[in-house]
Amino acid sequence: MAEIRIRNTEERISGEENVREFLSKQEVLYEHWDASKLPQELQDKFVLSDEEKSQILDTFETEIKDLAARRGYRTWDVIALSDATPNLDELLKKFENVHTHTEDEVRAITAGRGIFIIKGTDDVGYFDVELEAGDVISVPEHKPHFFTLMENRQIVAVRLFIETEGWIAHPFSDPAFQKQQ
Ligand SMILES: [Fe+2]
């Protein structure tokens, strides 16, 4: 289950209902899929063939189509990142800049872990959402955020898009944001 860390206060929020309630106040969608539906061999595999990616999409077809029907997503794919990814460090450096998009950013984690760092309301400030397999999150359009990996540096996620062009990152310059925390 996802956990929240509020950066200004170090407060942590855990438990599905608490996390969902906090995120819903921040207008971030949070849902959960049953990650154990995935064949065992794909629950811990971070270098994937096209066939294995299709297998992941097939496994969660019902969940994907349900989410797409409710929220208007038209295309989806699978992204896998790990130390086997060429230039992972460079890629992460590029990721780790606060930015916005013109459509929401949806990720359904199917294996591994990752963190969304999101700019919350003024009373909350920046908060981290630590995600694990089964967690589904949607960061609304125009909400400053970035995504990075956790210590294990491996993740597989389903991404859903309305228009793939909507995913272009627009840098959000914020002097109040402290990177090293
Ligand atoms: Fe983003």
Q: Is the dihedral of CA 161, 90, 28, 110 positive or negative?
A: positive
Structural domain boundaries in the chain: 3-166
Q: Report the separation in Å between the CA atom of 145 and the middle of ligand 1, taken as the mean of its atom positions.
A: 6
User: What is the C-alpha to C-alpha distance for residues 160 and 76, in angstroms, rounded to an integer?
Assistant: 4
Which residues have a beta carbon within 5 Å of ligand 1, which is an ion?
Answer: 105
Q: Is residue 131 within 8 Å of residue 139, measured between CB atoms?
A: no
pLDDT above 70: residue 88: yes
pLDDT above 60: residue 140: yes
Q: What is the pLDDT of residues 6-19, one digit of tens each?
A: 999 999 999 999 99
The annotated binding site for Fe(2+) is made up of 99, 101, 105, 145
Q: Is residue 119 within 8 Å of residue 175, measured between CB atoms?
A: no
User: What is the C-alpha to C-alpha distance for residues 12 and 53, in angstroms, rounded to an integer?
Assistant: 33
Q: Is residue 171 within 8 Å of residue 95, measured between CB atoms?
A: no
User: Is domain 3-166 in CATH 2.60.120.10, yes or no?
Assistant: yes
Q: What is the pLDDT of residues 30-76, one digit of tens each?
A: 999 999 999 999 999 999 999 999 999 999 999 999 999 999 999 99
